[in-house]
Amino acid sequence: MNWQNEVTNYIKVLQKEANGLSNLLAEISSSNAKSPNTSRLLNAITVLKEGVLNLLDKSTSMIKFDTESTTKLETLRNEYNKIMSNLKNLFTKISQSQLKIHYNYSTFASRNRSMSKQDMKTKHHKSKSSDRIKSVTPRKRVEFIDQQPVYNNDLKNKIDKLKEEIDKYIHKEYKKKISELEAENMQIRKKIEVAKEESNENMRSLEELKIRMSEVERRKSMRNVFSPSDMVSTKKQRFLIKSPSQTSEGFATS
């Protein structure tokens, strides 16, 4: 048997089990036995039915969309065997309990069928009706509708108050950030003012240095105008004063 036939057989069996669980839920719910054990049994059957339907959807999807996959087939086979084991345990516990259940229909040959002839006729009639309805209307899928939540006044007031607190908190945080930025801006301005003062001081020092250099250049040029060589060239001539003995009269007497 190839994998398509195996999965198709799973689908047929799971569909019958889902119908049987639906009938079982309906009978227990309509019975007069109301006890905590009955409630727990209904919950267990409901959970098991959901597991059967989920595995049925998975098997159907695998037939329609998947190619042969050994890993997926092995996983599906394990889940199917687990579901069948849970179903067997469920009906074993029901048969051992005090509940009188007519609908113990199963695909398991090992599970005892305690139906009378009248029950079999009723079951057969209901199965045909179920098959006829199922052929006309497809099985519905569970869909989750996104509905808008309905708030009462108390909850609405709490939500509004929480929003106001959040807005106040955000406002405080923004105000704190603005104060920090203003303080940082003030520090930057102070540093700029200090830098300007230092720059002005440097400019004044530079101007004074320029003035001193100009004075030094002026004095140097003055020294070059009145140099010692000029003084030698302008030096006055000296004349030798002769004594009377050196005059012409003195030479004549001799």
What stretch of H or E contains 220?
helix 153-225
Q: What's the pLDDT score for residue 136?
A: 47
Lookup: tokens for 3: 């994998």
Q: What's the pLDDT score for residue 229?
A: 56
Q: What's the pLDDT score for residue 101?
A: 60
Q: What's the pLDDT score for residue 22?
A: 87
CA pair distance 219, 112, nearest whole angstrom: 135
Q: Residue 80 CB: number of other CB atoms within 10 A?
A: 20
| Residue 168 and residue 78 share a domain | no
| Residue 219 and residue 165 share a domain | yes
Q: What's the pLDDT score for residue 170?
A: 78
Q: Which domain holds residue 212?
A: 153-223
| Residue 118 and residue 164 share a domain | no
Lookup: tokens for 243: 């004594």
Q: What's the pLDDT score for residue 151?
A: 52
| Residue 193 and residue 100 share a domain | no
Least Cα distance to 68 among 11, 2, 8 occurs for: 2
Asked if residue 44 is part of any domain, the answer here is yes
| Residue 160 and residue 122 share a domain | no
| Residue 129 and residue 75 share a domain | yes
| Residue 209 and residue 131 share a domain | no
The residue written with tokens 């004074």 in the block is 208
The residue type at 202: N
pLDDT tens per residue across all 254 residues of the chain = 588 888 888 889 988 988 888 888 888 777 766 667 778 888 888 888 898 999 888 888 888 776 667 788 888 889 999 988 888 888 887 777 666 665 444 444 334 344 444 444 554 455 555 554 444 444 544 444 444 445 567 777 878 888 887 877 777 777 787 888 888 888 898 889 888 888 888 999 999 999 999 888 888 888 876 555 555 555 555 555 656 565 555 555 54
| Residue 118 and residue 170 share a domain | no
| Residue 36 and residue 106 share a domain | yes
Asked if residue 123 is part of any domain, the answer here is yes
Asked if residue 142 is part of any domain, the answer here is no
